[in-house]
Amino acid sequence: MIAITKIGTYLPEKKISNLDLLDKFDTDEGFVRDKIGVVSRTRKQPAEKASDLCVKAFEDLMSKSELNIDDIECCLVVTQNPDFNIPHTSAIVHGALNLPENCACFDISLGCSGYVYSLSIVTAFMQANGMSQGLLFTADPYSEIIDENDKNTALIFGDGATVTLLESAKEGLVALGFEFGSKGAGYKNLINDGKLSMNGRAVFNFTAATIPVSVNQLLEKLNLTKEQIDRWYLHQGSKYIVDTITMRLGLDKDKVVFDMYEYGNTVSSSIPLLLSKDLENINAGEKIALSGFGVGLSWASAILEMN
């Protein structure tokens, strides 16, 4: 059984305060704090690349575990802002961490749905190939593509990275099931065409209409009810979208995790960043729900249980 056992994270120390930009964007602190849900955004150094952020997340993982690098059998990186178009960023991470030569490496090109999609991919890949230890990185430094004068995107995104250790283990978070989807006809609503542009209304409509349905379909498939889910980890697109999904699903607000005030929307890293803080406190038998959504337009939801 492949389980999530540890998560390492990295958030750059440098931050940009949205409170300093209220006049520039003709907005107020209430909107920034209570609607966007981002007070400050983390920023990597200009020279840092996605692979550098991955390495720093791995250093955090090493401080939390007794991992032997020679035992790592696969290494995936979820990013759409890779170091280069060629080669894949996971190869660069492989070299930087001095992972063994028989370690499989590949990238996954997905945005905010990427972590949930990739949990399914890496779990299946490891099971199919009899692997015992794998690393799933997320690192999508949007600071490289943000137009700092675009109100639709400039106040939202932060840089960060995570690495999830997946092991063949008796204890850890194990996936019970997934649900995936795409609305490719809407791809232009969130696109990097030189700089990132977003049709906020279209992305909101997509999310509000699609994610509650996706989650309910998954619960039904697994013969579970919302009440049996102990904690909800929704992609931290904005506070407004998390609140909207919470309301439309009729969730207990106390069970919905929200924490992006101090770093922003970190794309595929948002869910593992939340999980890393809670992982030690999820009790055996408890079930959690994940849902990632965005670029594509794409989404993936999952239910996991702590063994």
Partner 1 sequence: MSNVTAEQILATIESAKLVKDVNVLDQDKPLRDQGIDSLDFSAVLFNIEEAFGIEIPDSDIDSLQTINQIVLYVNAKV
199 binds partner 1, rule: CB under 8 A: yes
State both tokens at 245. Answer: 């999904």
Number of shown-chain residues binding partner 1 (CB under 8 A): 14
Amino acid at 277: K
Question: Which residue do the tokens 């994270």 mark?
Answer: 9
Query: How many other CB atoms are found less than 10 A from the CB of residue 174?
Result: 16
Contact between 200 and partner 1 by CB under 8 A: the answer reads yes
Binding mask 157-186 for partner 1 (x = CB under 8 A): ------------------------------
Nearest approach, Cβ of residue 30 and partner 1 (Å) = 9
**CB nearer to partner 1: pick between 174 and 202:** 202
Considering only residues 120, 205, 214, 216, which one is a binding residue for partner 1 as defined by CB under 8 A?
A: 205
Contact of 114 with 267, CB cutoff 8 Å: yes
- Distance between CA atoms of 73 and 196, rounded to whole angstroms? 35
- Scanning 2-10, 82-90, 166-174, 237-245 for contacts with partner 1 by CB under 8 A, the matching segment is 237-245
Of the pair 208, 257, the CB lying nearest partner 1 is at 208
Using CB under 8 A as the binding rule, the residues of this chain from 29 to 58 that contact partner 1 are 31, 35
Is residue 236 within the footprint of partner 1 (CB under 8 A)? no
Q: Which class for 199: exposed (0-12), middle (13-18), buried (19 or more C-beta within 10 A)?
A: middle
Answer yes or no whether residue 240 interacts with partner 1 by CB under 8 A: yes
Is residue 266 a contact point for partner 1 (CB under 8 A)? no
Among 244, 266, 269, 298, binds partner 1 (CB under 8 A): 244
Residue 176 CA: distances (Å) to CA of 68, 190, 287 = 28, 30, 9
Angle at 57 between CA 125 and CA 266, to 5 degrees: 85
Question: Residue 37 to residues 24, 210, 281: CA-CA distances in angstroms?
Answer: 18, 22, 25
Task: Catalog residues that contact partner 1 under the rule CB under 8 A.
Answer: 31, 35, 199-202, 204-205, 208-209, 238, 240, 244, 247
